[in-house]
């Protein structure tokens, strides 16, 4: 995946939540654009989000090891 791919995903409006799948098989959900940050080589994804909306930790996902980006189903209101 490229930096531009994630820039587009994070700035698209309305935002579409997505799952990042890694070459290890692990996956991480990005449910809000403020829960991820892209650098030249990595995507930092907030995890263990508390009730206040602030992640307790983050995972560093190397763009070289991202194998797929999947849209998440959104609950209809």
Domain boundaries, the chain: 3-71
Q: With the CA atoms of 72, 45, 23 and 41 taken in that order, what torsion angle do they form, in degrees rounded to the nearest 10? A: 130
- Per-residue tokens: 53: 């909306």
Q: What is the CATH T-level fold of the domain 3-71, as seen in this structure?
A: SH3 type barrels. (2.30.30)
pLDDT of 77 > 60? The answer is no
Q: What is the pLDDT of residue 2?
A: 93
Q: What is the pLDDT of residue 73?
A: 83
Q: What is the pLDDT of residue 75?
A: 55
pLDDT (average), residues 9-26: 97
CA R_g for the chain: 12
CA angle 15, 74, 24 (to 5 degrees): 85
Confidence of residue 1 (pLDDT cuts 50, 70, 90): confident
Q: What is the pLDDT of residue 13?
A: 96
Confidence of residue 49 (pLDDT cuts 50, 70, 90): confident
């Amino acid at each position: 995946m490229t930096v531009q791919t994630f820039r587009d995903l994070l700035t698209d409006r309305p935002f579409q939540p997505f799952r990042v799948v890694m070459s290890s098989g692990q996956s991480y959900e990005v449910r809000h654009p403020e829960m991820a940050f892209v650098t030249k080589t990595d995507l930092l994804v907030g995890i263990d989000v508390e009730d206040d909306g602030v992640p307790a930790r983050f995972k560093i996902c190397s763009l070289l090891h991202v194998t797929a980006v999947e849209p998440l189903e959104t609950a209809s209101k």
